[in-house]
Structure 1
């Protein structure tokens, strides 16, 4: 989870909140997955999900796209590759949701995870991180 402010600093780069687009609060994630709030917090602590503080009230939230089955099962390993390369949580989130026209499926790395291209995304993650 990142505690960094999520506002643009005048650069052309969009805020993380805007880049990801659709976020779910911890209670929303718990409801969607049918698990307890403490289990969602554990998923975040264990880095099976990443979160950020979103909005004016800085509420802990998870990108909604992470809950897609084809995405969720590939997140932990992808997070590990990027974190081992020195990226922080906010940088990992930004990388996963930044469009990359050179990927197999036009869109973002997380779109490519959803499409089943885990190997390509992790290869790119290794190149990015090292």
Structure 2
């Protein structure tokens, strides 16, 4: 888990940019001891992992809250390459992840 400052340093952006990404639904954070924390698995050197923001949107449209989204993204799913949705996203299998997220909405 990374703070907003650590996230900004990782993706070479300002803390305000990271906060904007959180507001826009490109990233999800949880509050720990009063501080926003972002899973490091959500990031690569250039920013959020490809497909993450689209997956967050699909899950949000399905009625998931932030905590439920985090649980789902890190839950084991043997039918996905990479075993968890976030690992599948990190290995460029976003289509499969979004397909499963969409199916959960029905």
1:7-35 C-alpha deviation (Å, 9 max, x unpaired): xxxxxxxxxxxxxxxx1000100111111
Match of 1:64 among 40, 55, 64: 40
Q: Tell me by how many angstroms 1:129 deviates.
A: 2.5
Q: Please list every run of 5 or more consecutive structure 1 residues that lacks an aligned counterpart in the other structure.
A: 1-22
- Kindly indicate whether the alpha-carbon contact (under 8 Å) linking 1:71 and 1:113 is maintained by their aligned counterparts in 2: no
Q: Is 2:94 the counterpart of 1:118?
A: yes
The CA distance in 2 between the partners of 1:71 and 1:50, in whole Å, is 10
Which residue of 2 is the match for residue 8 of structure 1? Answer: none
Which residue of 2 is the match for residue 33 of structure 1? Answer: 11
What TM-score do the two structures reach when normalised by structure 2? 0.90
Which residue of 1 is the match for residue 52 of structure 2? Answer: 75
User: After TM superposition, where is structure 1 displaced by more than 3 Å over at least 4 residues in a row?
Assistant: none
What number of residue pairs does the alignment pair up?
105
Q: Tell me by how many angstroms 1:106 deviates.
A: 4.3
CA 71–99 in structure 1, closer or farther in 2 if over 3 Å, else same: farther
Q: Tell me by how many angstroms 1:73 deviates.
A: 2.2
The CA distance in 2 between the partners of 1:75 and 1:99, in whole Å, is 17
Q: Please list every run of 5 or more consecutive structure 2 residues that lacks an aligned counterpart in the other structure.
A: none
The CA distance in 2 between the partners of 1:26 and 1:74, in whole Å, is 21
Q: Is 2:99 the counterpart of 1:99?
A: no
Structure 1 counterpart SS, 2:25: coil
